[in-house]
Structure 1
């Protein structure tokens, strides 16, 4: 009898290990989202939007380091839907990344529960839908990860905190934008900027976005969920202290304004140290021919008076933004959750095992606009890449290493196919993002934090490594690349799975400027990667195929 009990316990343990991508002992927090259509009007023009539990922007996900997060999404739209968790590293768990290369979409009228852990992370992040042009309709919101009580942050506890979603908006509606892209054109200019889905009129009748009490300090978590426009944010008559950027505590410099690139998040502290009254929070477009500006009201508790009409001026030119990037430094003395803490401070001394240069280009294919990387424009397959790989039918869906590690000297014809680079597990890789165009770029890497070691104008060459910051570059997950410039990042590929690298400029993403890295552990082991859960959605050519045997240890 005792032996039978032991066998049953062992079987239960193996079953749990094969189905539950969570760390035992860490709290589980749950959310239920009902996703519906609804009218939204950030710029005063009603359009069909996407609401989460009736909210636009969507509700905050409030979590603490190492929480296991469960989000049960009910798709009440008439279209397939997926959410991605921008900057959440999903250790060993690309199954829950929420992109079409690793997951099947949630079909209309069904629900699916995401399971992921905010492992060894703190900071300000966001979520948004990745299917079609849903990001243009809403469905985005803030994802906060607080530090555990025993691990102090390098500043006093603020009186309160606010999530600020600042981005561009198009009044055409997301279905019309999709038709524009499908016809082979880009989206053109946005119609305006919004702050949390609003734009104040400044006539004294606006409701405040946020309320502060004189003498107290507040934490503002900024994210840019827009489609293509970088913005500059600033507070009227107040300064900002930058304290965190995409999961890293930063050296606490003071700024009058900060550029917020597409897909980027950061945290600032603002002290209510002015006369109690209303003040403007201002956001304006950057690097656009036509200036777009949005305002929101920040009200002092018991304050008296409307905001002054004079708005603080935005900066001019992208060289200003490049210089600001160089002021961002990692706070090396702060106690905080961070992946791979043992090696975090020593990235400058690790030998580079591979250099990959990714150059973006705009090309015409059969008369229609496509955006390519090293001569190939990404084409979304009907079978998720991760599923094809896991089921052993990758050769029927994609080819590995189908772009070169550096841009070809000349591209005779752009190919349209899935792009997958095979990366040796735990390799330390240098990725160079090269921008040969006149428009600013913004890139995101899923599943990892990377060290943003350099951005410069001109053409990259190995000699440029002499200018890298090899000491205190901020560990982050998005990087901007200025016109006719390049950006260099270092990544340790220690997170097994299929991970997306994409343009955050969404018309470029939709028309092919993305790829995937496959980093597989040589050991089929739960120590390196979680098994596919039993409730994983299955689609494409693997539908109906027998499930591969799970990892056992």
Structure 2
């Protein structure tokens, strides 16, 4: 298929071509998307924004498991650009992963780059977004990977499907908002609205025409593909008057269960089945922040409308019943229900033993900043190391053995042990700055415990690992106890994900097999924390076989 992406006040052009392994003329679909300058109005404000093909959100990429996808990106924006295909494993092919200065240098204004990758062993809902600065505020869209021809979903087949992208909206230029926060040494201003498919809904001023509506027919079943594309907010999501059956998370089928609301962190996707079995009418679809930490929260509720066919639009929608913004109990019970399908066709290949045990503490802090208005700035770290972005791509430096770009001495555990969740709020251990990575042997099994800390404050952190899925084998509140907690791990059917939330004042344990050589980014998917340095990367060594080594870089790899 061919797609043309653009960028809004700025333009970005993307051509997408998907090929079936043995294509026939009927199997190759082509789409044309024109490059336009886009002015977008929300909440009584109109402003130019960076978009793809003038669309906000951008177009959905449709493919099948086994397809090859080529995405040519031409950047007409005033900003450098890179696109990340979130959740696609990119086997041996980090050149197509997209995070700026990690697997590539960004695409400069007026230049092009072709992302060329195969979709291997994956099907479900993923998404794409800008991976530089805060540009993913408006540069994002869905990826829908259908099963191979003739393969059915392992749940009742829906009559129709819809993508619901949850996002945020700033009335100002989001880059200016970020820069102002950096100058003050404070968090940037919160967004002015949450959105569903780019629209805030009728609960906001001047937004009556900016409401997404999904029409359904009574008695039919619908598959909703829900994506949290918000920059900084975990979200509760519900459909008034209806239950939902969760059937997939992060493009991995899970054991179905029914719920009246879901919790979804930035970066995650969730597929649910919804039966249109209530009294024909109009019902609010709603999303609102979840935050159980003592920090300011954006509790504005975005709404869309579930509209039964034939019901007049003058009928008032039924109001939703969302969990309270700090409902930790609901969040915990919901997460406990998530389990891998673990069938012969879709097994959960959990590493039962591990070669490498890693323990990373998540810390917030305040460092001196002579150039900041307050004389200090907020920072974030893993194992008290604040990551410094390099000037050239880390994968390029690794592949070509360019010295002096990064160090391979990221510690397996924090240099200073302390009472991680019991430290006083004002504690500040200080951080060291560095571009420090961890080397993993090819095909080794890894257990990583991510531990929240009470440095400045406790807070939930959604972590995303590029290039891999992992199994969430355990979670808990308080300090992880290596002598007690591993005995409680789920090694049978734990949820398999690419993004996981570390609970407020708690820990999360994940396991994965390092069988994808390259340089792979891991970072908090709260953009404000990533900006402050809450990130690192793994260098996974090549294996011995020819199909266990990094592919050579493409000829059009962007230069720095």
- TM-score normalised per structure 2: 0.85
Q: Which residue matches 1:365? A: 367
Is the counterpart of residue 351 in structure 1 residue 353 in structure 2? yes
Counterpart for residue 216 of structure 2: 212
Which of these residues, 514, 520, 523, is aligned with residue 499 of structure 1?
520
C-alpha separation in 1, matches of 2:156 and 2:282: 25
Equivalences for 1:6-405 in 2 at 5 Å? 25=22, 38-100=38-100, 101-136=102-137, 138-183=138-183, 184-201=185-202, 208-287=212-291, 289=297, 291-304=299-312, 306-315=315-324, 316-333=326-343, 335-336=345-346, 344-347=347-350, 350-367=352-369, 368-393=377-402, 395-405=403-413
Q: CA deviation at 1:515?
A: 0.8
Contact 2:323-2:330 at 8 Å conserved across structures: no
Question: Match for residue 523 of structure 1?
Answer: 544
Q: Name the structure where helix makes up a greater proportion of residues.
A: 1
Q: For the structure 1 residues 401 and 121, does the alpha-carbon distance in structure 2 shift closer, same or farther, using more than 3 Å as the test?
A: same
- Return the match for 1:430 from 425, 447, 460: 447
Contact 2:50/2:135, CA 8 A, preserved across alignment: yes
In 1, Cα distance between equivalents of 2:395 and 2:282: 51
Q: Any gaps of 5 or more consecutive residues in structure 2? A: 1-18, 370-376, 419-427
What does residue 409 of structure 1 align with?
417
Larger relative contact order, structure 1 or 2 (CA cutoff 8 Å, min sep 6): 1
**Alpha-carbon distance between aligned partners in 1 of 2:399 and 2:287, rounded to the nearest angstrom:** 45
Contact 2:384–2:414 (8 Å) recurs in 1: no
CA drift of 1:32 comes to 7.0
Listed one character per residue, the Cα deviations across residues 94-143 of structure 1 (whole Å, up to 9, x for unaligned) are 1110012011111101221111111100111111101111122x010101
Structure 1 regions of 5+ residues with no counterpart? 1-21, 337-343, 540-553
Q: Is the 8 A contact 1:35 1:50 kept in 2?
A: no
How much does 1:296 deviate?
A: 0.6
1:45 is displaced (CA, Å) by 2.9
Q: Tell me how far 1:396 sits from its aligned partner.
A: 1.6
SS at structure 1 position matched to 2:178: helix
When the two chains are superposed, the root-mean-square deviation of aligned CA atoms in Å is 2.5
Aligned-partner Cα distance in 2 for 1:125–1:306? 35
- Contact (CA 8 Å) 1:35, 1:51: kept in 2 or not? no
Contact 1:152-1:335 within 8 A present in 2 as well: no
Cα separation, partners in 2 of 1:309 and 1:279, compared to 1, 3 Å: closer
Please report how far the alpha carbon of residue 209 of structure 1 lies from its aligned counterpart in structure 2 after TM superposition.
2.3
Q: Decide whether the 8 Å contact of 1:28 with 1:70 is kept in 2.
A: no
Distance of 1:532 and 1:161 partners within structure 2: 37
Report the CA distance shift for 1:206/1:376 in structure 2 as closer, same or farther (over 3 A): closer
The answer to whether the Cα contact below 8 Å between 1:435 and 1:485 also exists between their aligned partners in 2 is yes
TM-score (norm 1): 0.86
Whole-angstrom CA distance in 2 between matches of 1:507 and 1:58: 23
**In the aligned structure 2, how far is the partner of 1:306 from the partner of 1:248?**
38
SS at match of 1:431: strand
- The worse-fitting range, judged by mean Cα deviation, of 319-328 and 440-449 is 319-328
Displacement of 1:537 in angstroms is 2.1
Map of 1:481-492 to 2, 5 A cutoff? 481-492=502-513
Once the 2 structures are TM-superposed, how far is the Cα of residue 317 of structure 1 from its aligned partner? 1.8
Q: 1:43 to 1:261 in 2, by over 3 A?
A: farther
- Equivalent residues of 1:443, 1:480 under 8 A apart: yes
**Is this contact kept in 2: 1:28–1:69, CA < 8 A?**
no
